[in-house]
């Protein structure tokens, strides 16, 4: 278990990629290397979970880590939740597992979610509407959300533009429309007891995300996927005021390293007394690691 008193930050948004790097047989390697170039990441093949844990341990940072199941929409084989969980268990001094199941899998998704929660204590699930090809308020996903709400789990939704497929022909089939955060507003209304995280500064829908998070008590925002030096002024303003207890540090590792993000965060106009909440305490409370 992560000892919250010993880490300097909690990264709420990191990715577990394929265990052997990239799939040369289905185009996954092209997708990952193109994303690495887009973000300026210093690698060609994504790091393994063991390498991720070593990096975070060295930097004294805890991290929530998850795969993304988008098999149906993309054709890329998923990284098994069970395999991710087993590797994370070996590194649970710094890593906290979330899971990912494509909601289009219907009853199979519901059964797997319930098993992962009840057998492994999974606290949250990652959804990527653009990669999975669905609107968050599509009723087909509601039985899945019901399981999460029943067990007090967190639903973390990708929002805004994505580096996935950026610059590739046709955006590699990624449709940006699915990730407008306003669709998560319906989910927040229909599942008021389920904690929801809107991932990333939600370009070009930043103000929609801020509005939803301000209006709905169960909605939070993570700040991953962008270097803080590019945060729009209105996002910084809300971090310093209305949403100071509802914004969360996230890097989007391995595309952005946590140390790179934190170094940039030190340079923006965040009130000093709020910095520890944003990089650590808000996430710790949301995850149930502190009161």
What DSSP line would sit under 45-70, residue for residue? Answer: SPPPHHHHHHHHHHHTEEEEEE----
User: What is the predicted pLDDT for the residue at 121?
Assistant: 96
According to the 3-state scheme, what is the secondary structure of 183-197?
HHHHHHHHCCCCEEE
Contact criterion met (CB below 8 Å) for 256 and 39: yes
pLDDT at 32: 62
Looking at residue 45, its pLDDT comes to: 65
In tens digits, what is the pLDDT along the chain, a chain of 291 residues?
899 999 999 999 999 976 544 555 566 666 666 656 665 666 666 788 999 999 999 999 999 999 999 988 888 788 899 999 999 999 999 999 999 999 999 999 999 999 999 999 999 999 999 999 999 999 999 999 999 999 999 999 999 977 676 667 777 667 889 999 999 999 999 999 999 999 999 999 999 999 999 999 999 999 999 999 999 999 999 999 999 999 999 999 998 999 999 999 999 999 999 999 999 999 999 999 988
- Closest to 127 measured CA to CA, from 119, 115, 137: 137
**45 to 3, 189, 225: CA distances (angstroms):** 30, 40, 18
Distance CA 242, CA 234 (A): 11
Tokens standing for 114? 């319930």
Which residues is 247 bridged to in the sheet?
221
Distance CA 63, CA 122 (A): 14
> In sequence order, which residues have a C-beta less than 8 Å from that of residue 165 and are 6 or more positions away?
31, 34, 171, 172, 173, 174
Q: Are 140 and 128 in contact (CB under 8 A)?
A: no
pLDDT at residue 37, rounded to an integer:
65
pLDDT, position 267: 97
User: Which two tokens mark 17?
Assistant: 């990629």
Burial 116-128 (b: 16+ CB within 10 A, else e): bbeebebbbbbbb
The pLDDT of residue 17: 77
Q: What is the pLDDT of residue 20?
A: 43
Task: Say what the pLDDT of residue 117 is.
Answer: 98
Neighbours of 152 (CB within 10 A): 13
Dihedrals φ, ψ of 220, to 5°? -120, 170
pLDDT computed for residue 233 by the predictor: 97
Q: Which of 248, 259, 203, 242 is nearest to 222 (CA)?
A: 248
């Amino acid at each position: 278990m992560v000892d919250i008193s010993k880490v300097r930050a909690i990264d709420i948004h990191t990715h577990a990629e394929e265990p052997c790097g990239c799939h040369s047989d289905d185009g996954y390697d092209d997708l990952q290397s193109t994303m690495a170039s887009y973000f300026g990441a210093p690698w060609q093949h994504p790091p393994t979970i063991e390498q991720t844990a070593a990096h975070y341990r060295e930097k004294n940072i805890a991290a929530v880590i998850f795969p993304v199941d988008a098999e149906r929409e993309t054709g890329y084989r998923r990284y098994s939740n069970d395999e991710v969980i087993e590797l994370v268990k070996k590194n649970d001094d710094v890593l906290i597992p979330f899971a990912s199941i494509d909601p289009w899998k219907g009853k199979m998704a519901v059964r797997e979610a319930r098993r992962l929660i009840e057998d492994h204590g999974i606290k949250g699930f990652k959804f990527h509407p653009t990669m999975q090809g669905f609107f968050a308020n599509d009723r087909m996903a509601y039985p899945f959300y019901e399981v999460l709400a029943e067990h007090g789990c967190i639903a973390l939704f990708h929002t805004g533009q994505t580096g996935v497929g950026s610059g590739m022909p046709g955006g590699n089939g990624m449709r940006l429309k699915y990730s407008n955060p306003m669709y998560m507003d319906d989910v927040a209304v229909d599942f008021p007891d389920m904690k929801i995280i809107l991932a990333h500064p939600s370009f070009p829908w930043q103000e929609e995300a801020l509005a939803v998070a301000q209006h709905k008590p169960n909605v939070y925002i993570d700040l991953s996927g962008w270097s803080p030096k590019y945060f729009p002024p209105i996002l910084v303003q809300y971090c310093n005021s209305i949403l100071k207890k509802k914004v969360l540090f996230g890097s989007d590792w391995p595309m952005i390293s946590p140390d790179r993000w934190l170094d940039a965060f030190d340079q923006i106009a965040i009130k000093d007394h709020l910095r520890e909440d944003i990089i650590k305490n808000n996430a710790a409370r949301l995850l149930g690691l502190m009161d």
